């Protein structure tokens, strides 16, 4: 059925309206399908028009997009999304890294005699025994060193006596004796001179040539003797030369140095604890020979360490070493006592890496509580678990 050509827009809209009721006009009459079809076509046309408008809209520039994104509020990250590396974004005390290593003494000392050797006569060493600094660990035979000490003392006394003699100079009695010898020679010279002068006056025939020569030689020799005695008296009055005094003083210093060395070697025969610590290993027995300069006998008597000064030796893989910094706080526990925790701090990071393990050695200083007995819970060689914590910034 064709629509009249003179219908207005309002008439056409009215025709599209649904009937108020769907009552049947007859037994075989159906609901009109034309209004529903027009509604579907209108909806499809509107959807197509909206799609074409979206595709034809001008694209935004990257500057516009960046400005809009910067102006938009950013959501704050949740604690679960924070990074695990050592960065300022991590909360203070958060776990950065965990690693396992071994407890070692910070300073382990090998006790041996210094430049002395001998048989052990007394030994007080036992593994695990605590020694205070200065207590006697062992005593060596020191007979030969005692003899050297006595010899050095005697040499020092002799050198000091020679120096004192030179500094004091000649005694008054020695000067008087030199003067008396000089006067005696002068009197003899006078007599010889008179005899020689008298022989020259006597006629040559009265004396033989031999007697004349004897008188002449006696006179000249006495002249030389008087001159020598005069110089001796002068030297006695002046005293020894300064150079001789300096030489004697140097000999005294040499004797003192030798005595000091002999005393030092004698004292080194008594081995004392260099620190307050615990014996870790016993290396000698009573009656054995100890010599630090020989390869055939024992070179030390024991090894000891202060077990209140401990470290944890760790090997951190190279991929994680950037998370570890010097001074980082740590928490330390052991497999033997898993419920006991100790504070620690990264003491040093080794300057070279372990090439065959692709790791870097790290030492963590353990803070042992004051009053805790040495070696009661922390023993060298124990497995330790270290938790690296984020330091406060």
| Gap between the Cα atoms of 359 and 378, Å rounded | 25
Structure-block tokens of residue 260: 């000091």
Residue predicted with more confidence, 19 or 227 = 227
Other CB atoms within 10 A of residue 185 CB? 19
Q: Considering the chain, what is the average pLDDT of its residues?
A: 79
Q: What is the pLDDT of residue 75?
A: 44
Q: What is the pLDDT of residue 26?
A: 43
Q: What is the pLDDT of residue 202?
A: 66
Other CB atoms within 10 A of residue 217 CB? 12
Fold of 108-141+269-304: OB fold (Dihydrolipoamide Acetyltransferase, E2P) (2.40.50)
Strands 277-282 and 302-305: antiparallel
Predicted confidence band at 242 (pLDDT cuts at 50, 70, 90)? confident
First to last CA, the chain: 88
Residue 221 forms beta bridges with which residues? none
Predicted confidence band at 227 (pLDDT cuts at 50, 70, 90)? confident
Are 362 and 346 a contacting pair, CB within 8 Å? yes
Other CB atoms within 10 A of residue 305 CB? 22
Are 318 and 359 a contacting pair, CB within 8 Å? yes
Percentage of residues of the chain with pLDDT beyond 90: 45
Q: What is the pLDDT of residue 13?
A: 57
DSSP SS3 for 66:
helix
DSSP SS3 for 2:
coil
Q: What is the pLDDT of residue 21?
A: 45
Are 340 and 150 a contacting pair, CB within 8 Å? no
Q: What is the pLDDT of residue 70?
A: 45
Residue predicted with more confidence, 382 or 63 = 382
Q: Scan for tokens 């050095």, then name that residue.
A: 152
| Residues whose CB falls within 8 Å of the CB of residue 145, separated by 6 or more in sequence, listed in order | 116, 262, 265, 266, 269
Q: pLDDT (tens digit, 9 = 90+) per residue, 61-111?
A: 444 444 444 444 444 443 333 333 333 333 457 899 999 999 999 999 999
Beginning with the edge strand found earlier in the chain, give each strand of the sheet holding 136-140 in spatial order: 270-272, 136-140, 118-123, 289-290
Fold of 95-106+307-389: Elongation Factor Tu (Ef-tu); domain 3 (2.40.30)
User: What is the mean predicted confidence (pLDDT) over 269-280?
Assistant: 93
CA angle 155, 156, 159 (to 5 degrees): 85
Listed range (64-78, 148-162, 189-203, 345-359) with the worst mean pLDDT:
64-78
DSSP SS3 for 385:
strand
Q: Give the sign of the dihedral formed by CA 288, CA 289, CA 290, CA 293.
A: negative
Q: What are the domain boundaries of the chain? A: 95-106+307-389, 108-141+269-304, 152-263
Residue predicted with more confidence, 353 or 231 = 353
| Gap between the Cα atoms of 360 and 353, Å rounded | 4
Structure-block tokens of residue 94: 């958060």
Q: Scan for tokens 């776990």, then name that residue.
A: 95
The pTM of the whole model exceeds 0.85: no
Structure-block tokens of residue 125: 């060493």
| Gap between the Cα atoms of 323 and 26, Å rounded | 89
Predicted confidence band at 251 (pLDDT cuts at 50, 70, 90)? very high
Nearest in space to 305 (alpha carbons), one of 112, 106, 103, 126: 106
| Gap between the Cα atoms of 100 and 105, Å rounded | 17
| Gap between the Cα atoms of 208 and 171, Å rounded | 48
Listed range (127-131, 230-234, 303-307, 384-388) with the worst mean pLDDT:
230-234
Predicted confidence band at 145 (pLDDT cuts at 50, 70, 90)? very high
């Amino acid at each position: 059925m064709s629509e009249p050509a003179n219908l207005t827009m309002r008439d056409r809209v009215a025709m599209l309206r649904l009937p108020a009721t769907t009552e049947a006009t007859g037994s075989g009459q159906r609901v009109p399908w034309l209004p529903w079809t027009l509604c579907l076509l209108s909806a499809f046309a509107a959807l197509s028009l909206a799609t074409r408008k979206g595709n034809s809209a001008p694209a935004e520039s990257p500057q516009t997009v960046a400005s809009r994104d910067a102006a938009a509020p950013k959501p704050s990250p949740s604690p679960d999304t924070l990074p695990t590396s050592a960065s300022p974004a991590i909360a203070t005390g958060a776990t950065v890294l965990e690693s396992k290593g071994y407890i070692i003494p910070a300073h382990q000392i090998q006790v041996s005699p210094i430049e002395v050797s001998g048989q052990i006569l007394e030994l007080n060493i036992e593994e695990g025994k605590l020694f205070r600094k200065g207590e006697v660990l062992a005593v060596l035979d020191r007979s030969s060193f005692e003899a050297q000490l006595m010899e050095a003392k005697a040499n020092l006394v002799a050198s000091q006596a020679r120096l004192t003699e030179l500094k004091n100079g000649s005694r008054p009695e020695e000067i008087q004796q030199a003067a008396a010898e000089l006067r005696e020679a002068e009197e003899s010279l006078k007599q010889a001179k008179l005899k020689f002068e008298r022989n020259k006056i006597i006629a040559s025939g009265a004396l033989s040539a031999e007697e004349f020569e004897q008188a002449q030689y006696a006179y000249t020799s006495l002249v030389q003797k008087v001159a020598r005695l005069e110089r001796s008296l002068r030297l006695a009055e002046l005293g020894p030369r300064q150079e001789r005094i300096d030489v004697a003083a140097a000999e005294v210093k040499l004797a003192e140095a030798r005595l000091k060395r002999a005393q030092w070697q004698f004292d080194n025969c008594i081995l004392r604890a260099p620190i307050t610590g615990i014996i870790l290993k016993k290396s000698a027995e009573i009656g054995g020979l100890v010599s630090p300069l020989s390869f055939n006998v024992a070179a030390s008597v024991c090894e000891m360490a202060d077990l209140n000064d401990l470290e944890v030796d760790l090997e951190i893989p190279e991929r994680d070493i950037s998370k570890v910094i010097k001074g980082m706080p740590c928490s330390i526990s052991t497999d033997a006592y898993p419920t006991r925790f100790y504070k620690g701090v990264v003491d040093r990071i080794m300057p070279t890496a372990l090439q065959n393990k692709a790791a870097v050695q790290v030492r963590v200083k353990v803070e042992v509580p004051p009053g805790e007995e040495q070696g009661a819970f922390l023993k060298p060689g124990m497995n330790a678990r270290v938790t690296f914590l984020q330091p406060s910034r």
